[in-house]
Amino acid sequence: MAYTLFIGNKNYSSWSLRPWLVLRQGGIPFQEQLVSLQDDPGKAARFGRLPAGRVPVLAHGEVLVWDSLAISEYLAERHPGLWPADPVARAWARCIVSEMHSGFMDLRREMSMDVRSRRPQRRRTDGVLRDIVRVERIWTDTRARFGARGDLLFGTFTIADAFYAPIAFRFRTYGVTPSGAPGEYLAALLALPGMVEWEGAAAGDERLADHDLDLLYPGD
C-alpha cells in the first residue's frame, strides 16, 4: 500500500521536511503532494486531506497521520531501522527528538527556515543564543556517546537526524558556524542526498511575503 505525503512549500516548511527526509533517507517509496495553503488555508481540510488543516500529513490507504513526530513513529513501526536498535541509544534519540519537537521557540521565531536565503545575523537575542548552545551540546554529546560508526548522530541515519535537519538549514541561512564535532555533523547533515534534493527543489518554490509566511507556517 503506497504512502502519500502532503507537504508545504519546501523553502519554508520545516515540519514537512522532517517526515519527508525520514521517508527519503529511509529508502521508503512514497509520493509527495504539495498543498498550496496560500490560496485558501481551509481548502485542504475541507477535502479531508488535512485533519488539522496543516501540513505535513501522511496518507496510507484509509489511514491519515498528521504531525511530523506521529508520522515518523508510524513509519518506524513499519520500517525497522529508523530508530537506533540499542535501547539506551533509542531512549536518548527519542528524548532529543521530543526536545526538538516541543522546544527551541526563540530559535524558531527569530530564525525561521528559509533554505535558499543567506542573511547572517549581526546580533542575536539571549534566547536564540541559549538555543544555539543547547543544539550544539546535543550534537556533541550524542555524537560522543553513540556516533562512532558514522558521521550522523547515531552513526547512520535515524529519525533524530531528520528532526535536526531544519536546524542545519537555519544555521547556514543565518550564519551560525559551529566548530569541532557540531560543525562536522552540520556538514554531514547538509550533505545527505535527501537534503541536497530538498534544497534543489526549494530553489524553485514560491517566495512568500513575511505576512503570508507567519500566517501559513507559524512556528516553522
Question: Same structural domain for residues 76 and 92?
Answer: no
Q: Which range marks the domain in which residue 120 is found? A: 87-198
What CATH number should be reported for the domain holding residue 98?
A: 1.20.1050.10
Q: For the whole prediction, is pTM greater than 0.85? A: yes
User: 80, 108, 142: which is the final residue of a domain?
Assistant: 80
Whether 67 maps to a domain, the answer reads yes
Question: Same structural domain for residues 69 and 158?
Answer: no
Q: What is the pLDDT of residue 44?
A: 53
Crossing angle (nearest 10°) for helices 14-25 and 68-78:
10
Whether 213 maps to a domain, the answer reads no
Task: Give mean pLDDT, residues 65-80.
Answer: 97
Residues 51, 66: contact at Cβ < 8 Å? Answer: yes
Whether 54 maps to a domain, the answer reads yes
Residues 65, 74: contact at Cβ < 8 Å? Answer: yes
Q: What is the pLDDT of residue 128?
A: 97
Whether 216 maps to a domain, the answer reads no
Name residue 135's amino acid. Answer: V
Would you give the distance in Å from CA 181 to the centre of its chain?
A: 20
Quick one: what percent of the chain has pLDDT higher than 70? 87
Q: What is the pLDDT of residue 52?
A: 76
- Tens of pLDDT, residues 163-201: 999 999 999 999 999 999 999 999 999 999 999 999 999
Task: Give mean pLDDT, residues 212-216.
Answer: 46
